[in-house]
Amino acid sequence: MPDGKTHDRLTIIGAALSVPTWLLFAPPDWRADYPACATLVISTLFSGLMLSPDLDLDSSIYQRWGPLRFLWWPYQKLIPHRSFLSHSLLIAPMLRVLYFLVISYVLFRAGSWAINFVTPVNRNAMSDAAFGALVDFPNRHPHHFYAAAIGTILGTALHVGADAFWTRLQKANPFRRKRRR
């Protein structure tokens, strides 16, 4: 597999190339939506640098989460490395985003519970408002929603594509050493 720095470079290059691609191939009414284009770039970077398929390992991506990396420990234990759940083009990024949203919700509920001890708050109303905003986001901001979805998939695709290319390259190498058992 390519190392973490190679994956990072590919993510940054892919995010940079997504701008001219957006400007050339996006529907005409979307091309002038530069904030949505920025959403594409940011989501590609976030997907490749923070929500990478290698979160299922004790990798540089896992370490980037700093003191919050413990949030990804259950994901690491549940998802086998290079499985369909971690290295597919659609299922894997959706699973990581869903996992991140569930963990964020749990932290939100725990934080509002702690705040409730200091000052009374309506935790259920806050949760309902946050959930409603999340569910309504695709309807209110469709360009941003699709740009974020494409960027999230692109960040994963760059990683998975590099892994697949490297694996094929290694298998095609006639001078490679075979492992001893």
Task: Report the Cα 113 to chain-centroid distance in Å.
Answer: 28
Give the pTM. Answer: 0.88
pLDDT along the chain (181 residues), means of 10: 88 96 90 92 97 91 94 93 91 96 93 91 91 95 95 96 87 69 58
CA angle 165, 7, 19 (to 5 degrees): 100
- Domain residue ranges in the chain: 4-170
Q: What is the pLDDT of residue 177?
A: 65
Q: What is the pLDDT of residue 73?
A: 94
Rounded Cα gap, residues 94 and 177, in angstroms: 37
Reading phi first (left if > 0) and then psi (alpha if -120 to 50, else beta), residue 133 is in alpha
Q: What is the pLDDT of residue 180?
A: 60
Rounded Cα gap, residues 10 and 177, in angstroms: 27
Residue holding tokens 């990072």?
A: 8
137's tokens: 């986001």
The letter for the amino acid at 160 is V
